[in-house]
Amino acid sequence: MNTQQEKAIKSIDMSRNTKLGLFDVLIVIMNIASARGNYLLYGLLGTSEGKWCELFVILVDIFYCVIRFKNRLSSKIFNKYFAPIFLGLFIIFYNSVNVMLINGAGNWILFEFLIVDSLFFLILLLLLNKLSSCHIPKEAMIGQLSRGYIYISMFSFIGVLLSFGLLIAGYNLDTPIYADYMASNVDESNAQYYRSFLTVRMETVDLRVPFFQEYGFLCGLFHEPHIFAYNVFPCLLLMLAFCKTKLVRLLVFISLILVILFAGSATNVFVALGCLIVYVLVRARRNFWGILLLLLILTVAVYFYYKIDTTLFDFLIERSSSDHSSRQYSTSLLEFAFTPRTLTGTDCFSTTFISHGTMREDVGWIVFLLYVSFLISYLRNVLLLLFKKEKLPFIIGISSLYFIAHSAKVGLCMFTSPLFIVFVFLQAVYLTKFKTDKGKKQLCVQNNL
């Protein structure tokens, strides 16, 4: 084989590696869908128990890793920016072992969380290894790694819009559904769940935003409005990094507002406001007039909405009250996470202490210190990204900031969802030294590209 033929073959291999295939993206979607609160796998597999969904994901992940990738991981992709992932995985490992020691071997099921998250991390590393074998820009690499998360989030969001439109038009296609994670809402709040076209519909007596909750809460693939916002809102923020035109950027902004209105989640509103304040403080000097115009438009929009209807504002004031059950729930989760009483603790993923009204569970000093270390390393990554001059790292930082702030509502249970791995992974990919232009050239030379 002559030199020209070898170069042609290498060129073809490079072009193939610059994009992830549909099968790769579907695997990422499947792993993200394994998170508690996501109905996609429950519906596809026809089950009401999460353990079967997780077992299915584990088997598919193992099969995928065996047949899809044969090359070793590059040692250059491991660095300090991945530390939050390792700390999160160790928290899951420690808690699983601790619960088994306390309650017996029958609680081995908790290891499913560890296996799913670990395999998902391995798959992302393998995908990164594949993309890193070529000289492609950071933006393209981040875009490729984000595709699965963006697709599943947009399925939820567009599903809400289409289903809402059909309901308004007078069509009705309700199928009662149930999953194990819905049990507490069904028992305590008398909530009823239906699949309405392309969305999960939660029917309660609660009303937060007139018109948008006329048919109950449309939650996409999720079982609660705040979980819908928790998953979709940071994805829309992330999509701002890939907008090529002003029209697309405007559509994403409108989508962010629609998520707020459909969810009617106080946590979503307050965290989004906090991220907006951070945006203003960090970027004000670089784009003063643009930020001023944005604030003016938002102020006018909020003023006119308040004149039309005050229900959402009354709801936010009510949720801010110290004696409201939602605020008490969030406060209890934070108090639990940051007040260890014993060395080893009990089950750090349990929330039974909230329903019992007493602190029967204990986070323990070991998990507490691991969790604090996780937060420090995670926020270090976020701060490094927020103070970069480029748009892409700043957007990753803002979306990551939203995710970790909203995670206060779910407490340590955030580690049972693979989504935290997605955000840390994107942070680390951008911050890794070998992703700089110089690093990429060195990597290509080492691989004889």
In angstroms, the CA 79 to CA 416 distance is: 23
Confidence of residue 434 (pLDDT cuts 50, 70, 90): very low
The set of residues, in sequence order, having a beta carbon less than 8 Å from that of 350 and lying 6+ positions away, is: 361
In angstroms, the CA 263 to CA 224 distance is: 8
Dihedral sign of CA atoms 261, 214, 160, 193 in order:
positive
Selection from 235, 424, 214, 208 nearest residue 312 by Cα: 208
Residue 354 has pLDDT above 80, yes or no: no
Q: Mean pLDDT, to the nearest integer, of 417-428?
A: 95
Residue 13 has pLDDT above 60, yes or no: no
Confidence of residue 271 (pLDDT cuts 50, 70, 90): very high
* Inter-residue contact 333 to 299 (CB < 8 Å): no
In angstroms, the CA 27 to CA 34 distance is: 11
In angstroms, the CA 442 to CA 143 distance is: 22
In angstroms, the CA 99 to CA 346 distance is: 7
More confident residue, 132 or 95: 95
The helix (run of H) or strand (run of E) holding residue 421 is: helix 419-431
Query: Tokens at residue 24, please?
Result: 């790769």
Residue 70 has pLDDT above 80, yes or no: no
The set of residues, in sequence order, having a beta carbon less than 8 Å from that of 355 and lying 6+ positions away, is: 184, 188
More confident residue, 241 or 291: 241
Task: Kindly write down the DSSP assignment for every residue of 282-297, as one continuous string.
Answer: HHTTTSHHHHHHHHHH
Residue 340 has pLDDT above 50, yes or no: yes
For residue 40, being part of any structural domain is answered with yes
- Domains of the chain: total: 1
Query: Which letter does DSSP use for residue 109 in this model?
Result: G
Phi, psi dihedrals of residue 193, rounded to the nearest 5°: -115, 135
For residue 6, being part of any structural domain is answered with no
For residue 114, being part of any structural domain is answered with yes
Q: Mean pLDDT, to the nearest integer, of 13-31?
A: 79
pLDDT number for residue 307: 77
Looking at 178-279, which runs of residues are DSSP E strands? Answer: 192-196, 199-203, 217-218
Q: How many Cβ atoms from other residues are within 10 Å of residue 426's Cβ?
A: 27
For residue 2, being part of any structural domain is answered with no
Query: Tokens at residue 280, please?
Result: 């203003």
pLDDT number for residue 108: 66
Residue 445 has pLDDT above 50, yes or no: no
Q: Mean pLDDT, to the nearest integer, of 409-419?
A: 90
pLDDT number for residue 159: 96
Q: Mean pLDDT, to the nearest integer, of 305-318?
A: 76
Dihedral sign of CA atoms 5, 11, 16, 17 in order:
positive
For residue 187, being part of any structural domain is answered with yes
pTM metric for this prediction: 0.89
For residue 4, being part of any structural domain is answered with no
Selection from 77, 59, 66, 97 nearest residue 367 by Cα: 97
For residue 164, being part of any structural domain is answered with yes
Share of the chain above pLDDT 70, in %: 85
Residue 77 has pLDDT above 80, yes or no: no
SS3 218: strand
More confident residue, 61 or 317: 61
Confidence of residue 91 (pLDDT cuts 50, 70, 90): very high
Residue 135 has pLDDT above 50, yes or no: yes
In angstroms, the CA 153 to CA 170 distance is: 26
pLDDT number for residue 11: 45
Share of the chain above pLDDT 90, in %: 50
Burial class (CB in 10 A: 0-12, 13-18, 19+), 247: exposed
More confident residue, 135 or 258: 258
Task: Kindly write down the DSSP assignment for every residue of 367-397, as one continuous string.
Answer: HHHHHHHHHHHHHHHHHHHHT-SSHHHHHHH
For residue 5, being part of any structural domain is answered with no
What is the residue range of 106's domain? 20-446
Residue 136 has pLDDT above 50, yes or no: yes
pLDDT number for residue 106: 57
Between 221-230, 271-280, 291-300, the lowest mean confidence (pLDDT) is in: 291-300
More confident residue, 303 or 166: 166
Between 35-44, 309-318, 334-343, 359-368, the lowest mean confidence (pLDDT) is in: 309-318
Residue 81 has pLDDT above 80, yes or no: yes
Burial class (CB in 10 A: 0-12, 13-18, 19+), 241: buried
Question: Using alpha carbons only, what angle is made at residue 403 by residues 65 and 90, rounded to the nearest 5 degrees?
Answer: 50
Residue 250 has pLDDT above 70, yes or no: yes
More confident residue, 323 or 85: 85
pLDDT one-digit tens code per residue, 366-412? 999 999 999 999 999 999 999 988 899 999 999 999 999 999 888 89
Question: Using alpha carbons only, what angle is made at residue 211 by residues 210 and 216, rounded to the nearest 5 degrees?
Answer: 85
Between 113-127, 159-173, 178-192, 389-403, the lowest mean confidence (pLDDT) is in: 178-192
More confident residue, 69 or 182: 182
